[in-house]
Structure 1
Amino acid sequence: MDAAEQNHLLPKKKKSETEDDKRRKRIVAGSLLKAVVRPGGGDSSPKDADQIIYHCTVRTLDGVVVESTRSECGGRGLPIRDVLGKSKMILGLLEGIPTMHKGEISMFKMKPEMHYAEKDCPVSAPGNFPKDDELHFEIELLDFAKAKIASDDLGVIKKILNEGEGWESPREPYEVKAWISAKSGDGQVILAPKEEPYFFTFGTSEVPKGLEIGIGTMARKEKAVIYVRKQYLTESPLMHIAQDLEEVHFEVELVHFIQVRDMLGDGRLIKRRIRDGRGEFPMDCPLQDSRLSIHYRGMLLNEDKTVFYDSRIENGDQPLEFSSGEGLVPEGFEMCTRLMLPGEIALVTCPPDYAYDKFPRPPGVPKGAHVQWEIELLGFETPRDWTGLDFQSIMNEAENIRSTGNRLFKEGKFELAKAKYEKVLREFNHVNPQDDDEGKVFGDARNMLHLNVAACLLKLGEWRKSLETCNKVLEAKPGHAKGLYRRGMAYMAGGEYKDARNDFNMMIKVDKSSEADATAALLKLKQKEQEAESKARKQFKGLFDKKPGEITEVGSEIREETRTIEEVDETKDNDGDDEETQEEENTATVSTERKRKWSEKAWPILKNVMVQIGIQLCVALLGVYIFQFVSARFT
């Protein structure tokens, strides 16, 4: 039995019951009757998630029209557009329309509970509608098709006419070229096709909001009708929106779009694709560190667009080759080339801090210059796959990458260096040494890489992560001298001086040859401690060199101020006792006011004390002060 047969025999998961399913269960036999007036065409009928377009005329049983969408029956002539399973519909139509074919006209006789008299009906009855009567609903199913819901409120829905190519869709700030025409809901042309496709930039309100939402779901060369309701019909340069328009049907053919990427999210580093490349984005891009072959032309963003380099001229038409991830080109340049396809040409606009302010500047490029590169990616070679390599070849590859990381570290490019070390560590997860000798070589190499990562983290100011990385080495080999050294440096960076000293002293015990490094580290540690002590002494300067009398005098000031406050409070209390007619609410207000004034007078003195003698002494003095104050109040 093959897998397909086994899957067929497995019990199918029960589909969760929807609200519409629960409503259908309440249908009583005879409450909904159907009579076909005119048969439709084809064998298919609408299903859940299909958009249905239909005319509806409601009549009483004696033929009086209650309401209609048809103009000949007093309606506006606009058909109803719903999505089965998504739109709110009366129960009779929810059950009846899925039995119809395209072009069919049928009469549905409905009991009140099948239309607006249904319990908890999700649709409100129109004004003066006889919802308690049995009625005839004449339905003409004009069209139905699979719908792409572009907005949750069903204000923008797309019907695909011709499938497009690829999976990518335009989004902000892509540049779009499309054929666009439009009709009102009743079929009147409000935007005729132009002689040339319309060109606009996504996210700049150059087309109505709903149209942009719909186009944002399309693929290249796709053709579709986008139904946009009133709330999404915003004014734009494309067309004027009349006030009485309820909805517009846009017919769109997406000719092309140019991928435009805001690489930093702030509009400073922009990559604009000029010519499409080969393959699928992003699967066929050099996302990983690769060997790239390119041609490029560099220009200053001045009035003359001065060209400061052209590889086809300067390099004798030979392409420039470099390995990504090694800091060999400006950061903005590399960020953009990683998102290119072979054969693609892109125009990159770059700010100074991602161009040449942090990279050796070519002749003719001033400091702080914004630049533009026109880059053509000719091709790239992915890194060598380690699968199937023997152990020695793997270790040679690892050493080459580690050496590159060491160079980047010396150049101060710590993030790039860390990425190189971490890349090898990831590859090491799939390496299995075959004997003890290989195991020792492999273990030593892995420990060294972890410590290299720890050094990068320390340079990047992440001492806790550096500490954790060192612990990976010391858990495997507790007496690893370099591991102790690196962890000690991490402790020192974090101000954990005692732990740092322990690690440096342990270095000397486990490896006498590391004594010189440990001694130098201990000397540096002592300097750090002295600096910290000196800094603390400066912060508390003057707090503990007061004479006892001076501190006592400060306390006397507090007591004197306290007595003054107490006298004022007592006077106010006495005044309050003389007024026998004072109400309880006023008494509470006066009491609150006394407390506020007392705190206003006491706080400046307390603040001075805190500044003079520091928090710890202040807490003790405050306790004495409170005790004296309470004693004075109740004696």
Structure 2
Amino acid sequence: MASAFQSCLALLQLQVYRETLELQPNVDEKGIDDEADFQQAEDLSKGAILKATLNEGSGEVPATNDLVFLHLRIGKGNSYLTSTRPEDGGQGHPQPFILGKSKNLLKGLELAVRGYAYQHRTWVLDIPPGLRKGDTIHAEVELVEVVPGRTVRAVLAAEDTFKVTEQAGRDFETPRAPYKVKLHLRASTPSSDDRPLGASQTYFTMQSLDAALHSMVRGERSIVTCPHEAASGGTLVPDPDASGSGRAEFAIELLDFTQVRDLTGSGELVKTIMQQGEGVFPVDCPVEDSLIQAHWRVRRQGTGEAWVFDTRSAGDAQRPIEFDTGMATVPDAVDMAGVTEGDTLEFEVELVHFERDQIREDTTTAGRLTVASKWKDQGNMLFKRELLKLAKAKYLKASKVVERIVDYADDQTYEQSQTLQASRARGDFVSCYLNLALCATKQREAAEAIHYCNKALEVDPACAKALFRRAAALALVGEYASAREDLQAAVNIDASLEPDAKRETARLASQEKAQAAKQRKGFGRFFK
């Protein structure tokens, strides 16, 4: 028996050992990079790469992140495996690589190129991965051009499409698909001259153009080089000749662009800017709670029909409509004659004026209280219309404003006028959270409602209404005993609530009885 137990224990230990080996360690990527650099330095010291200079170059040598154009001959033994030279059957076009980033540049060649200057030509011997120990390949490399890394960016995940910025833009916003652009474009295939970037014989692209534009700003001028496959399939210009260099090149100057925004994320509401407004996005735009003045008109999309409603129908002298955002309202006098259910509509809107963020504009306590009171009143209007989500947003904004005043007042000694303002802020704070609790209870969000009641009780522990509403929220989660305690506490504070408390207590008893019966019925199925 002891022998069998020991065998079983040994088997378990072996299984644990095996499972331990399969665990994936939390590896420090920096350590991997350091180890690779150390191994690389050791290989170089052992002669893994041998270099013989055929022609000295001139000028600065390239560094990591620089874009380099290279003529290459790569061979094994007495034959070439590949070459860019026309005399070897190549296309005669230098190939671009970003040092330290291009995945398709042999490591040995990359290390050698770091010491090159313009038109430096070298013979390199390297032992690449995948060959047997002792096998060698030879590569003849000529550095044709270097572009500083500070102006270079890879714009596709494959890291074979490069953008070189010739002139920086004047803005910070970049186009986000879908968009409309206004640009100058010159498309070409690279020449076989010594200086390929910017030389051309006209032609060109699409996928690469999109990727490049996503990284550009207004006023920027850049040159992009990419493989033929990334330059094909568009309708703006013809596909490049597949028998050419294998790469295409285009110069772009982004004059302007218009963002086309999907405002809902589902394609149901898409906005296109027809005319740029004044100011800087998003600083000079209306916030959620702003008083807006605007002209607008509407018709069925894509029909070209007359507008069925237009605020300018009485001429340009017609006053713009005025409304508050975040209130789920539209102007009254909207005649939608000719529009039927299910029609897709096209709106044209001109923003004439809007109120700045009043909290930023008026930093006085009195001003902030006025704005908070306005938002609370708007929340009450939305609550009456059963727009609970919008109502909660208004109450939350108002509560945050008065909460800062309350917190500050607790740490300060105020004069009488300021004390009155602090008292008003506390009242508004409690009122906002009581209303938030009522909204949450109607939405059957019990935990949220309890939280809001607790916030109100922190400022006013003797608030009977907060206890009453917390009792209703506790009942939603079956905490009937705690709910009854809150109801009794509310009556102890405000005796006028006793009739309401009795009705609520009776409702709780009925609800508790019904729940108990339901539970008995459910458990009964298990004991049949």
Which residue identity does 1:77 align to in structure 2?
G
Q: Aligned partners of 2:328 and 2:51: how far apart in 1?
A: 76
Where do 5+ consecutive residues of structure 1 fail to align? 1-12, 194-206, 331-358, 541-613, 622-635
SS at match of 1:57: strand
Q: Aligned partners of 2:74 and 2:370: how far apart in 1?
A: 83
Report how far residue 92 of structure 1 moved: 4.5
Maintained 8 Å contact 2:75/2:137 = no
Residue of structure 2 in register with 1:55 after alignment: 71
- Equivalences for residues 128-207 of structure 1 within 5 A: 132=135, 137-146=140-149, 147-184=152-189, 192=203
Which residue identity does 1:173 align to in structure 2?
P
Residue of structure 2 in register with 1:99 after alignment: 115
Q: Aligned partners of 2:475 and 2:75: how far apart in 1?
A: 87
Q: Aligned partners of 2:223 and 2:400: how far apart in 1?
A: 49
Closer/same/farther in 2, CA of residues 395 and 208 from structure 1, 3 Å limit: closer
Q: Report the RMSD for the aligned CA atoms in angstroms.
A: 3.9
Residue of structure 1 in register with 2:213 after alignment: 215
Asked if residue 484 in structure 1 is aligned to residue 467 in structure 2, the reply is yes
Report how far residue 83 of structure 1 moved: 0.9
Which of 35, 41, 45 does residue 53 from structure 2 map onto?
35
Which residue identity does 2:276 align to in structure 1?
D
Residue of structure 1 in register with 2:397 after alignment: 423
Q: Aligned partners of 1:306 and 1:523: how far apart in 2?
A: 62
Asked if residue 384 in structure 1 is aligned to residue 358 in structure 2, the reply is yes
Residues 367-376 or 480-489, more deviating? 367-376
Residue of structure 2 in register with 1:587 after alignment: none
SS at match of 2:253: strand
Residue of structure 2 in register with 1:298 after alignment: 298
Closer/same/farther in 2, CA of residues 25 and 290 from structure 1, 3 Å limit: farther
Report how far residue 391 of structure 1 moved: 4.1
Asked if residue 402 in structure 1 is aligned to residue 376 in structure 2, the reply is yes
Deviation sequence 1:30-78 (CA, Å, 0-9, x none): 86455372544xx4432211221111235899x9977532102343323
Which of 1, 23, 38 does residue 40 from structure 2 map onto?
23
Which is greater in Rg? 1
Residue of structure 2 in register with 1:576 after alignment: none
Residue of structure 2 in register with 1:277 after alignment: 277
Q: Aligned partners of 1:327 and 1:366: how far apart in 2?
A: 20
Which of 345, 352, 366 does residue 371 from structure 1 map onto?
345
Residue of structure 1 in register with 2:450 after alignment: 467
Asked if residue 321 in structure 1 is aligned to residue 322 in structure 2, the reply is yes
Q: Aligned partners of 2:500 and 2:303: how far apart in 1?
A: 57
Deviation sequence 1:116-160 (CA, Å, 0-9, x none): x15xx4xx67xxx99745957341323434321122321322222
Report how far residue 402 of structure 1 moved: 1.6
Closer/same/farther in 2, CA of residues 486 and 190 from structure 1, 3 Å limit: farther
Asked if residue 78 in structure 1 is aligned to residue 83 in structure 2, the reply is no
Relative to the length of structure 1, the TM-score reads: 0.65
Extract structure 1 runs of 4+ deviating beyond 6 A: 63-66
SS at match of 1:280: coil
Residue of structure 2 in register with 1:444 after alignment: 427
Closer/same/farther in 2, CA of residues 312 and 618 from structure 1, 3 Å limit: closer
SS at match of 1:252: strand
Closer/same/farther in 2, CA of residues 514 and 86 from structure 1, 3 Å limit: same
Deviation sequence 1:1-55 (CA, Å, 0-9, x none): xxxxxxxxxxxx99x7484575245423886455372544xx4432211221111
Report how far residue 171 of structure 1 moved: 2.7
Which of 234, 237, 244 does residue 236 from structure 1 map onto?
234
Residue of structure 2 in register with 1:45 after alignment: 61
Which residue identity does 1:212 align to in structure 2?
D
SS at match of 1:406: helix
Maintained 8 Å contact 2:94/2:144 = no
Aligned length: 476
Closer/same/farther in 2, CA of residues 53 and 20 from structure 1, 3 Å limit: farther
Percent identity of paired positions between Structure 1 and Structure 2: 25
Which residue identity does 1:220 align to in structure 2?
R
Q: Aligned partners of 2:510 and 2:164: how far apart in 1?
A: 74
- Equivalences for residues 115-126 of structure 1 within 5 A: 115=126, 117=127, 121=129
Where do 5+ consecutive residues of structure 2 fail to align? 1-29, 193-198
Report how far residue 278 of structure 1 moved: 2.5
